[in-house]
Amino acid sequence: MKIMLATQTYAPIIGGEERHVQNLAGQLASRGHDVHVATQALDGRASADLDDRGVHIHRLASASARMPVLHTDSGRPHALPIPDPILTRELSKLTCRIEPDVVHAHNWIVNSLLPQQHRTRRPLVMSLHDYAHRCVTTRYLYEGSICKGPGAYKCLRCSKLTYGVAKGTTMLAATWLAKPWRDGVIDRFLPVSAAVASNTGIAARGLPYEVVPNFIPDDLAAVGSAATRRPAELPSDDYIVFVGDLVPDKGVLTLLAAYERVPFPKPVLLLIGGGRVEMPTQLPRGVLLGTKWPHELVTAAFANSIAAVLPSEWADPCPTTVLEAMALGAPLITTPVGGISDMVDDASAMFVPPGDATSLAEAIIRVITDEDLRRRLAQAARARVGQFTAGTVVPRIERIYEQALSEPRRVWRLGT
């Protein structure tokens, strides 16, 4: 099967979405498919390469990449919530040249595929890695709490606060205008969790979808089971670890407050940040900070820790860090929010209420002082994480492609 994966950004930029697409491309290629990745050329220079896994990488010109003022993170420019005229043209030329059997889009780049999709009716599936299909800020938060649903005033206010008045109003209008088109054309939505299916509205509207979570490599669990070398960058003593953006909605401020309530002697708290940073410059005693570590060092940090603490406070769609902690044997403390509720249960992790520093401190104390509890959590997590490995998830994606090819194309109707 010839498959085109369309993603707004790709390696060497690495976030959760980029890592997922990169892993999916490699897995599909290893299973004998002809895989092409279409993405934006961030430096403006279009190129085509073949990577060492046999995946064709096409970096295409776009209007979005040429206008850094549009993006809150200029190093990771998102695609536009409407068809990008330059990217639409380049995607059309690419699909005509390679003639994929199936196109699999990831988030907003799908908007630049819509004009040609309406003409060619090539099978199109779309992964929803966050809430961008319905929420212009993509995070489904309102005034610091999980949003209860869209509304004209709420969404406009939130968009303005995030992007500014002019840009926010334009982004919101574009998102709302393109949504009915996406709803009517896409053959199958693939939300990464039940929370994404619910909060984007696709479940309530009866649109065709199947929850397909993020996945980890099959051999990652073996890394945790084997004796893992302890890199010099890691603390020499016992430590607990947090991995993620160092921002309030990931629970990092609550974690710092909880850690201060844990009495000495206590393990080091290692914070590993991969992106945004919004936290105090003065850290409590016992806290170490690592930023932009390579992935091999992150996995080693999980494997050598006595516990992983990932206390998200937003509806985190499907954080791969949770899966990695489970596979690598790190006893897990987390919150039952968003897609995390799909990933773990109360046998494979300790749940604490989001934003509750007292409960989080009590959970940390219990885990670090109870070796038997740590062993039980790690064993249950390793047993459960098997349903989130490549060997389980990728065949499901292949079946979805095959179904999309065999089923009649959807006829576009406004408000379908």
Nearest to 207 by CA among 53, 10, 412: 412
Query: In the predicted model, is pLDDT for residue 76 greater than 80?
Result: no
- CB 360, CB 259: distance < 8 Å: no
Partnered with residue 105 across adjacent β-strands are 6, 126
For 3-42, letters b (16+ CB in 10 Å) and e give bbbbbbbbeebbebbbbbbbbbbbbbbeeebbbbbbbbbb
Of residues 411 and 162, the one with the higher pLDDT is: 162
pLDDT score of 184 = 77
Instruction: Determine the residue type at 130.
Output: D
User: Best-predicted range by mean pLDDT among 27-41, 62-76, 286-300?
Assistant: 27-41
The fraction of the chain above a pLDDT of 90, given in percent, is 62
Using the predicted structure, report yes or no on whether residue 115 has a pLDDT greater than 70: yes
Residues in the chain: 416
Please, which pLDDT band fits residue 69 given cuts at 50, 70 and 90? very low
Distance CA 227, CA 274 (A): 26
Least confident interval from 69-78, 272-281, 304-313, 353-362: 69-78
3-class state of residue 140 by DSSP: coil
Position 416 scores a pLDDT of 45
What is the pLDDT at residue 267?
Answer: 97
Cβ atoms of 382 and 221 within 8 Å: the answer is yes
What average pLDDT does this structure show over 366-386?
96
> Coil, helix or strand for 39?
strand
pLDDT (0 to 100) of residue 239: 98
Closest CA to 348 of 385, 321, 314: 385
- The pLDDT score that the predictor gives to residue 14 is 65
Q: Which amino acid is at 204?
A: A
Quick one: pLDDT band at residue 392, thresholds 50, 70, 90?
A: very high
Under 8 Å CB-to-CB from 38, ≥6 apart: which residues?
4, 5, 6, 7, 58, 60, 91, 94, 109
Quickly state the pLDDT bin for 356 (edges 50, 70, 90): very high
**What's the pLDDT at 390?**
95
What confidence tier does 164 reach under pLDDT thresholds 50, 70, 90? confident
* Range 347-377 burial, b when 16+ CB lie within 10 A, else e: ebbbbbebbbbebbbbbbeebbeeeeebeeb
- 41's tokens: 């050329």
Residue 341 pLDDT > 50, yes or no?
A: yes
Local structure of 188: helix, strand or coil: strand
Judge contact between 328 and 262, C-beta under 8 A: no
CA distance 382 to 152: 44
Rounded to the nearest integer, the mean pLDDT of the chain is 88
pLDDT at 412 over 80: no
Contact 134, 179 (CB under 8 A): yes
Average pLDDT for 56-80: 71
Mean pLDDT score, 53-64: 92
The candidate with the shortest Cα–Cα distance to 271, out of 311, 317, 232, is 311
Structure confidence by residue, pLDDT tens digits, 261-319:
999 999 999 999 976 778 888 899 999 999 888 888 999 999 999 999 999 999 999 99
- Phi-psi region for residue 241, left (φ > 0), alpha (ψ -120 to 50) or beta? beta
For residue 391, is pLDDT > 70? yes
- CB distance 20 to 40 below 8 Å: no
Indicate if the pLDDT at residue 71 is higher than 50. no
Strands (E), 133-244: 141-142, 145-146, 188-191, 239-243
pLDDT digits (tens, 9 = 90+) for 222-242: 665 554 578 889 999 999 999
